[in-house]
Amino acid sequence: MRPFRACLAGVCLLLASISAGRGAELESTLVQIGLARVDITPSYAVRLTGYGSRTNEAGGTDQQLWAKALAIGEGPAAVVVITVDNLGIPAEMTEEVARRLDKRFGLKRERLAICASHTHYAPALTGMAKLILKDLTAEQSERIARYSAELTDAFERVAAEALESRRPGRLGWCEGRVGFAGNRRTLVDGLWKANAQNPEGLVDHSLPTLVARDPDGKLRGVLVNYACHCTTINANDNKYCGDWAGFAQETIERSHPGTIAMVAIGCGADANPYPRGTLDLARDHGQEIAREVDRLLEEKQLPLGAVTAAAEESFDLPFAKLPTRAQWEERAKQKGPIATHAQAQLARLDRGEQLPQTLPYRVETWDFGGELAMIFLPGEVTVEYALRLKREHAGKRLWVSGYSNDEPCYIASRRLIGEGGYEVESSMWYYDRPTHFAPEVEDMIVGAVERILPEAYRLAREQPVKRWQAEIEKLDAKQPGGRAPEGSIVFVGSSTIRRWDLLKSFPDLPVVNHGFGGSQYADAVYFLKPLVEDAQPSTVVLYDGDNDLAAGKPVEQVAADAIAMIYRTRLAVPEARIIVLSVKPSPKRRALVDAQRKLNAMLEGYVITRGDKRLSYVDVGALLLGSEGEPRSDLFVADQLHLNDQGYALWAEKLRPILAQSTPPGGRNSNRE
């Protein structure tokens, strides 16, 4: 296993790129955005790939093919996502494009993603799904190599154009739903039976959509992600075409002239578009995506900044036990793809080569400041990967693309491997893999994603929920109706908040204590609804970060989690005042003083650059320091970590005028609509 590289230093760049001077409106900050597209339809005939039945080169063009690029951010924080009308891009090609972009623009490998639409009506590429191309001639092979080289150049060109055309814009995202993807695995007695629509089977109908606009709101482009095979058209059609993904792009660009529409594919390996079989149906499905995009564009998108962290991890996926030589020989006597595949393996053995026991695999993630994580998985990934990742990791804040950066074969989930069938076993023949995967690949892939995703996304795991659920349910037990009165001043945070007798400190203010002991910023984000949203407070006071640092989290990570909390709070209560308290120094955590200072500086910097008049940062740490700059032990209880009455009195004195100013008598916020 190669150690993964992760860059969290981008948080500082995020802070630097945030524009100041606006009010608390839910507008995204300005970010550098560039978009470009390049026509990649070959001017000559090339073999199409995706269906094993074809033997002739393409006989015309139903639709132009495109490579498109979206560049986001600047300097080392820039990322580029390329979408392409093709079955899939081999890793070698992605690596070559990455090398060129690193050389020209300093773009690091984990900051590039190439996402294929998986259309079955685009040219075959050298090194991709070799055994699917029946009766391949030397001339056909040559033209495939020519197109592969031209496509590599086109990727470099389109990425360069996107990077070079960057200008300030706004980025947002939202999620819609489109229903034409249907599960295509029918089962009998728990085993795979046939490739046909299974209305009971799992699907992912979400349509996460990234929206790029000019600062004045004018649309510049969209990137959508949908989990479905790009195989509507009849398999006998042998012409260039983008299928539904191509028609979705075409329709969106036609209704929004001057924009660039991009389509990536989710974990749709076990889903087909239904109904299917004609070019018109492909157009219908594309138009359905475009209609949903139009609807989404009318609604509010969640604002995003630049990518704050990009990370990757490479590892090897184990195959199941390989067949014996005798078994290969038996298979080689049969007919069709199973025989072709067995003959290829026997030829390897005859040359004295070993058959591979594992397949190299690589996952990549991009974090938009705790707001959205994009996950790029190579291969034809089945739907349970996306459903599991979303279930276990912060749900709707995840964007999962398959067919990304490489297409080594199908990537079946554990349950599917038990059921067998096309996506598990027989599809491996076309990809020239020796056999199906071992069932543990699902945990390995999910585990790798989990390791490189920032902590802020690991919120839905069972443990933290169980740990605090009961405490949070009891928070407002004594309040009328069991919830904090609307318009109150809600203090959210760890035990430093929980232990504070707020009514004693602020007898004249509608204060409510939502502290829960031992918590960190990521926990507060998870419980945002009961802590903040349900109360609709006039003011939210946030105190966390103390335990986060004590738990050994890097400062940049804690800052990202804190920013996620501030940001989510702003979305939940658009009119409320948000007061972020500095992390306090304490005699017990003296060793963390540098980390605390750095975190406080980042939080203060974020608050200042955000330019939100109802967001403020209050330094409550300086009050606790003695003349030597050391925390005064006489202000702490015996554990030398938590404040005593005298310590809280100093905080109350500092906060009282600020709180009184923000809260009209009665605690009602007169600005609320």
Residue 273 beta carbon to Zn ion: minimum distance, rounded to whole angstroms: 12
Q: Using CA of residue 391, residue 408, residue 104, residue 210, what is the dihedral sign?
A: negative
**What tokens were used for 67?**
């490579």
Residue with Cβ nearer Zn ion (288 or 380): 380
- Distance of alpha carbon 91 from alpha carbon 94, whole angstroms: 5
Rounded to 5°, angle at Cα 42 from 378 and 131: 45
Residue with Cβ nearer Zn ion (268 or 621): 268
Residue 427 beta carbon to Zn ion: minimum distance, rounded to whole angstroms: 7
Residue 12 beta carbon to Zn ion: minimum distance, rounded to whole angstroms: 41
Residue with Cβ nearer Zn ion (380 or 544): 380
Residue 414 beta carbon to Zn ion: minimum distance, rounded to whole angstroms: 20
The pattern of x and - marking residues 364 through 403 that bind Zn ion according to CB under 5 A reads ----------------x-----------------------
Residue 230 beta carbon to Zn ion: minimum distance, rounded to whole angstroms: 8
Residue 268 beta carbon to Zn ion: minimum distance, rounded to whole angstroms: 9
Residue 231 beta carbon to Zn ion: minimum distance, rounded to whole angstroms: 7
- Distance of alpha carbon 648 from alpha carbon 652, whole angstroms: 6
Residue with Cβ nearer Zn ion (180 or 328): 180
Residue with Cβ nearer Zn ion (204 or 380): 380
Cβ contacts of 401 within 8 Å, gap of 6 or more: 113, 115, 225, 264, 265, 266, 374, 375, 376, 377
Residue with Cβ nearer Zn ion (52 or 76): 52
What letter would DSSP give residue 515?
Answer: E
Residue with Cβ nearer Zn ion (312 or 380): 380
Residue with Cβ nearer Zn ion (13 or 411): 411
Residue 381 beta carbon to Zn ion: minimum distance, rounded to whole angstroms: 10
Across the strands, what pairs with 187?
Answer: 192
What burial class does residue 614 get, using C-beta atoms within 10 Å of its C-beta: 0-12 exposed, 13-18 middle, 19+ buried? middle
Residue with Cβ nearer Zn ion (120 or 610): 120
Q: How many residues bind Zn ion (CB under 5 A)?
A: 1
Parallel/antiparallel/unpaired status of strands 577-581 and 271-273: unpaired
Residue with Cβ nearer Zn ion (380 or 455): 380
Contact 545, 583 (CB under 8 A): yes
Residue 118 beta carbon to Zn ion: minimum distance, rounded to whole angstroms: 6
What residues between 494 and 523 interact with Zn ion by CB under 5 A? none
Residue with Cβ nearer Zn ion (417 or 603): 417
Across the strands, what pairs with 539?
Answer: 489, 577
Parallel/antiparallel/unpaired status of strands 615-618 and 577-581: parallel
End-to-end Cα spacing for the chain: 55
Q: Which residue sits closest to Zn ion, CB atoms considered?
A: 380
Contact 528, 544 (CB under 8 A): no
Cβ neighbour number for residue 156 with a 10 Å cutoff: 21
Residue 73 beta carbon to Zn ion: minimum distance, rounded to whole angstroms: 32
Cβ contacts of 257 within 8 Å, gap of 6 or more: none
Contact 445, 377 (CB under 8 A): yes
Cβ contacts of 29 within 8 Å, gap of 6 or more: 17, 18, 19, 170, 303, 305
Alpha helical stretches, state H, 57-137: 91-105
Residue 169 beta carbon to Zn ion: minimum distance, rounded to whole angstroms: 34
- Distance of alpha carbon 79 from alpha carbon 107, whole angstroms: 7
Cis peptide preceding 275, ω within 30 of 0: yes
Across the strands, what pairs with 176?
Answer: 207
Phi, psi (5° rounding) for residue 235?
-60, -25
Residue 50 beta carbon to Zn ion: minimum distance, rounded to whole angstroms: 7
Residue 285 beta carbon to Zn ion: minimum distance, rounded to whole angstroms: 16
Amino acid at 547: N
What letter would DSSP give residue 484?
Answer: P
Contact 176, 303 (CB under 8 A): no
What residues between 247 and 276 interact with Zn ion by CB under 5 A? none
Residue with Cβ nearer Zn ion (229 or 642): 229
Cβ neighbour number for residue 592 with a 10 Å cutoff: 18
What letter would DSSP give residue 122?
Answer: S
Residues in touch with Zn ion (CB under 5 A): 380
